[in-house]
Structure 1
């Protein structure tokens, strides 16, 4: 563990009460195995990409008593064949599928939880709100994790205040990525999020001060608010969000970009339909970016806009999803996106669809498709995924 993070860990936990040596220490094993086939057909390449990968995470969770716990988790990815560009294998004649083979320490932290206050120090997964700004990129086989100190305070039943200081981010390209900054980044980032939740509504405000010490132009300060609500059963739901992002720390660029999201939804008989308009501002030279987000969940599953184009992005979309079958085990989603520059000009459009099946509470299967049609940005691209995932927990003592 890095020196600065180790010092912060001690400070974060110093005020917690000591735990008794004779307190029982329950131990449990946790696992997450995911087998996936992915295909990519991109018009910019003469060859299609195909990746067959198996990801396994194994973790040990221990409860020490008096609110203390610890977690240690390793992850490994195996790949059959090399007919894709993983970012680490140098196979640039194929389209990119960022699932390189290899192993890593995924999480390793100590935690303390009291009645109203909690602290976690070490390498960990961080998810804020809907992961639009801070997430773990859970779709990829390698997960995005952070060397961080995270604090949580609940001053009242309806309120939750979260703060995290990030020392380093470990990215989904893995330890062996050919580009060093795709492996990990040194940070000095401060995240503050305060949320008020009552019933089916939640209002949150945030300030994310992100300093990237390896890539200065990636540093930014983002201030915003988010309001969401959903019906208890059938009826109207919504999400409204607005934010402003500016240059921060030693970023040599000077910018100020607006972000907004409007997403009304309606649920009837278990089927939810929604319309959305997400705006990421740009000035033609630079655009609003979300470098710590779970990007695959936004702006289409084809991942054309993981980096926002300099002209910004307006994503206008419609989606519908539901479930059917015995115990609603079969879930489905269909979505359509229209992409334009924030100041005029069209990028393209995309269709997405998925069909999932819960074999049991622990095993799930997924068929997923994405088809992007370029109209001024990128090239036509189509992706297919077939996946089975098995998660479990076993008490050891």
Structure 2
């Protein structure tokens, strides 16, 4: 594949740039400023070589988020933020340009109001209303899909209460979700959805451990078959020793039909992910199960999808036969001192299979992922990232390459 042949040279070039740019001083503390301007600029080159297409896709995009944050005193604050995406060339299917002869890269051109919210926060109670970024736990069920250039945001109201030490209770009502395909997506359902969704989340933290219970009542007013109720428990632990040790993530949930969904189903979800950290290197073994019955499967339509089940995005929609993702991953830094200590690396491998007993022996495929990342200067970071999916009964072979620079910061306008 063409992408594969370019990965090594591109990786070397970016790694060299990481080594030649020095780190700068940390950002000035602006927490006390009553009015601040915030920005996040991200330039990305993405290539996709998928065997289902005769042409490779390549997208060179630039995303700018620009926001104005205000602190009014007495616990009141607000944020107004816009976002725009520009691209050089059109040799990819953005979901909005109609170029279906290319593989999909869901980073269309366009601009939007990204966030606009008003919040009040007291000692133990807070409320936020408006359009906002929403990240719950590990973002498996509710997240912003931050990997894409357009961000997933939500209109609604959120309440947070800390009744006692270690406890956090959350309730969020969602009226609308603005999806990563942007306002100009050819499929109207990919632009945004009208919702009447209620999210209840309770967590308790003690030392290095956290327990979370949740119930998510998701009512999709535009696509009734997407309405579900999901309830579950999550338990995580971090290494107790400062130099490493044992960690874990265990989770179990059930998802059923809800509201006006004409279907009838009950699917199970579980995650088991033990990890071990030693000398700055973390090794993980994982088994994630998303149940399916051969006709319908567990879905996570409000979650951050790219972070799960491989970076090639082959399973953003769970196949009807369900998905068993068994994986191993390693991450750390290239060294413990100097420049090497600032360069992070990740390597992972996934094996994908069906869960339904009819399809229980069906092997979907496997995938390799790898990345290098490093801070270059104050607020500036670089990333090179690759994925290689090998199909064996699901989809087609797919190789991807990303090169990225991101710069973010904030500056007080008033003091």
Contact 2:343 2:372 (C-alpha < 8 Å) held by counterparts: yes
Cα RMSD over matched residues? 1.0
CA deviation profile, 1:75-109 (whole Å, cap 9, x unmatched): 00000000000000000000000000000000000
Q: Identify the residue that residue 276 of structure 1 maps to in structure 2.
A: 286
> Following TM superposition, by how much is the alpha carbon of 1:360 offset from its aligned partner in structure 2, in angstroms?
2.5
Matches within 5 A, 1:242-281: 242-281=252-291
Matches within 5 A, 1:225-236: 225-232=233-240, 233=242, 234-236=244-246
Matched, 1:214 2:222: yes
> Following TM superposition, by how much is the alpha carbon of 1:157 offset from its aligned partner in structure 2, in angstroms?
1.4
CA deviation profile, 1:114-160 (whole Å, cap 9, x unmatched): 00000000000000000000000000000000001011000011000
Q: Identify the residue that residue 331 of structure 1 maps to in structure 2.
A: 344
Matched, 1:352 2:352: no
> Following TM superposition, by how much is the alpha carbon of 1:357 offset from its aligned partner in structure 2, in angstroms?
1.2
Contact 2:33 2:412 (C-alpha < 8 Å) held by counterparts: no
Q: Identify the residue that residue 98 of structure 1 maps to in structure 2.
A: 106
Contact 1:283 1:310 (C-alpha < 8 Å) held by counterparts: yes
Matched, 1:396 2:394: no
Q: Secondary structure at the match of 1:296?
A: coil
> Following TM superposition, by how much is the alpha carbon of 1:329 offset from its aligned partner in structure 2, in angstroms?
1.0
Q: In the superposition, relative to structure 1, how do residues 348 and 25 fare at CA in structure 2: closer, same or farther (>3 Å)?
A: closer
CA deviation profile, 1:43-71 (whole Å, cap 9, x unmatched): 00000000000000000000111111110
Contact 1:25 1:65 (C-alpha < 8 Å) held by counterparts: no
Matched, 1:341 2:354: yes
Matches within 5 A, 1:116-135: 116-135=124-143
Contact 1:25 1:64 (C-alpha < 8 Å) held by counterparts: no
> Following TM superposition, by how much is the alpha carbon of 1:25 offset from its aligned partner in structure 2, in angstroms?
7.7
Q: Identify the residue that residue 6 of structure 2 maps to in structure 1.
A: none
Matches within 5 A, 1:1-397: 26-232=34-240, 233=242, 234-325=244-335, 326=338, 328-343=341-356, 344=360, 345-397=362-414
CA deviation profile, 1:282-314 (whole Å, cap 9, x unmatched): 000000000000000000000000000000000
TM-score when scaled to structure 2?
0.89
How far apart in 2 are the matches of 1:49 and 1:221? 37
How far apart in 1 are the matches of 2:378 and 2:144? 23
Unaligned runs of 5+ in 2: 1-31
How far apart in 2 are the matches of 1:157 and 1:99? 42
TM-score when scaled to structure 1?
0.93
CA deviation profile, 1:214-263 (whole Å, cap 9, x unmatched): 00000000000000001143110000000000000000000000000000
Could you list the structure 1 runs, at least 4 aligned residues long, displaced by more than 3 angstroms after superposition.
none
How far apart in 2 are the matches of 1:342 and 1:393? 47
How far apart in 2 are the matches of 1:265 and 1:42? 33
Q: Secondary structure at the match of 2:97?
A: coil
* Of 377-386 and 229-238, the range deviating more from structure 2: 229-238
Q: Secondary structure at the match of 1:181?
A: helix
Unaligned runs of 5+ in 1: 1-23
How far apart in 1 are the matches of 2:131 and 2:87? 25
Q: Secondary structure at the match of 2:306?
A: helix
- The count of residues paired between Structure 1 and Structure 2 equals 374
How far apart in 2 are the matches of 1:55 and 1:152? 31
How far apart in 1 are the matches of 2:272 and 2:156? 32
CA deviation profile, 1:340-367 (whole Å, cap 9, x unmatched): 0013111000000000011134110000
Contact 2:135 2:142 (C-alpha < 8 Å) held by counterparts: yes
Q: Secondary structure at the match of 1:146?
A: strand
